[in-house]
Chain A
Amino acid sequence: MSAIRAIQAVRSGRIDSTRVRAVVRKEVTDYRRNRFVLGTMTVLPILFLANPIINIFTAPTNVSHTALDARVGSTMLFLLLVPVILPATIAATSIVNEREQGTLEPVLTTPVRSEELLIGKALAALIPAVTIAYTMLGIFLLMVKLFAHQQVADVTLEGPRILAQVLFIPLLAGWAIWAGLAVSVRANDVRVAQQLGTLASLPPLAITALMAFNVITPSFRVAVLFAVGLLLLDVLAYRLIAPMFDRERLITARRAK
């Protein structure tokens, strides 16, 4: 019932962009002042950029093309961890946190729709995640182009590989966010939500790993097909999560304390 209503809301354009923007602005202002989130946003990218760079520069060049391919693939997989883990953590805590602070109830007294609140929170997690991930990718590719061994650079800078990376970053982040929000809507405890959220965000990464390890040969076609699959998964996830947002339960359910 409410699933149908949620879909109709989006279709008929009843999503009010002013409300969505208000949510995004509030979220971003709030976590820019949150040391835990800021710390995660700084430390995680540094760690997950340092590792692939070291990995690429220490790559042996006297090996077969296939071996080099696998090495580069697994290295670049690392760059996909940040756009998954970072937004998953933010999303997984975003609603259960508000419940704990008592800020959710006043918000729900306003005309804001569940979908608007969820989309706002999703965008607020997506924007920094994608920005950071693209920056990391840019730095990585630039370093490879400028300083890596020619042979390694050739394998790394293959078109399908870069396209896959560019497409997968927002799509994987999208999945991670919906998974995180789904956990956040159901969870009664912030720390449990954080752990479950990270866990739930990882499965699609496994599919991309198949490509990274050359189980599936990366090509433009495969990259685009995977991207479309991920997109469908994201849309499906959104449609499933909006009806999970049960105002009454969120306000009255006893919290595990």
Chain B
Amino acid sequence: MTATMDDPVLVVDKLTKTFGSRTAYSDVSFSVGRGEVFGFLGPNGAGKTTTVRSLGTLITPTSGKATVAGLALTADNAVEIRKRIAIMTEAPGLYGRLSVTENLKYFVGLYHLSDGEQRIKKALDAVNLTDRAQDICSSLSKGLRQRVGLARTLLNDPEILFLDEPTSGLDPVAARGVHDLITGLRDRGVTIFFTTHRLAEAEALCDRVAILNTTLRTIGRPSELREQLFNRGLVVTTATPLADPARVFTGLPGVEGWEPDPAGGYRLAVSDPAVAAPEVVRALVHAEADVLSVGESRHSLEDVYLELVNEDVEANQR
């Protein structure tokens, strides 16, 4: 891991944005280290796109402060900030009558970059679109347009790359291509801030994730979040239900509690799986149970997400 939090490139401090009476996001604070891949998760309408737009100087936050690529987020710094970052917007927004290359050329001009041809070539190469360079954009499929949009964000070698749902609508192979691209950019020290609804993707790629639901619900490494929210546990499955599970599990060293798993088998809360697992196996063998498996229960980032977001839904219903 190359990211260092001693050198944050993005610092957000109590940022809030309201549209009239509607709050898009509220009191959001976090920071992102240089070279970090940061996942920004949250349900539809959580305020992810609005946050990205605010940090990208496209809209003005109602209150709060932020530093983007070393510059305070103010109207006076907007142009300079935009030079140092790139944003892939939710919709790729290509000019349908222009070719892929012509679209990119326009942006080379808007960024006032030299050696445009070289940059365009490199960007197209990075998203595997070299052979479609001369195609007119209106003739491209949704996924291909998405990749042109991605290529466009690579032109100016940004310090921070904001990607708003970069893999939505992509086929698995193309999505994998984007993942590889993100990893490659991270290795070159680019900071990546991306929103996604694909939790497995966030879990695999991100150094840290934040879950936003108007307010920031949690932030941390995926593994930390799992541990914060869920007790560590063991999952035991047997071919036939145990005659007296309470007698088998109760009082075993390291086992703090147990319950039948609705999906079949048993869930055990344990303090340390390494201590508890051998004890549990011995007890099962002693009880002559037909053991199929004993394993550590794995909570995914999806479980964390659903837990937090459902809490919010329930709180709102109250």
Contact = CB atoms under 8 A, between A and B. Distances in A.
Of the listed residues A26, A107, A247, the one surrounded by the most CB atoms of chain B closer than 10 A to its CB is A26
A159 to B, nearest CB: 42
B58 A106 contact: no
Contacts of B98: 26, 29-30, 33
Interface string B66-77: 000000000000
Interface in A15-56: 16, 18-19, 21-23, 25-26, 29-30, 33-34
A252 B87 CA distance: 16
B30 interface: no
Contacts of B95: 26, 30, 101, 103
Contact of A105 (B86, B93, B112): B93
Contacts of A248: 58-60
B200 interface: no
Interface in B106-123: 106-112
B112 A18 contact: yes
Given A247-B58, A248-B59, A111 B83 contact: yes
B149 A106 contact: yes
Given A26-B95, A106-B149, A248-B60, A111 B89 contact: no
B93 A103 contact: yes
A101 B93 contact: yes
B97 A104 contact: no
A22 B82 contact: no
Given A107-B110, A247-B58, A113 B97 contact: no
A111 B97 contact: no
A102 interface: yes
Given A26-B98, A105-B58, A110 B107 contact: yes
A143 interface: no
Contacts of A25: 106, 109
Contact of B97 (A16, A34, A247): A34
A108 interface: yes
Contacts of A139: none
Contacts of B149: 106
Given A19-B110, A106-B89, A251-B58, 14 more contacts: A16-B112, A23-B109, A30-B98, A101-B96, A102-B89, A102-B93, A106-B107, A109-B87, A110-B107, A111-B111, A113-B79, A247-B58, A248-B58, A251-B59
In order of increasing CB-CB distance, the 5 nearest A-B pairs are: A22-B109, A110-B110, A102-B93, A33-B97, A109-B87
Interface of A: 16, 18-19, 21-23, 25-26, 29-30, 33-34, 101-113, 247-248, 251-252
Interface of B: 19, 53, 56, 58-60, 79-80, 82-83, 85-87, 89, 91-98, 102, 105-112, 149, 152, 156
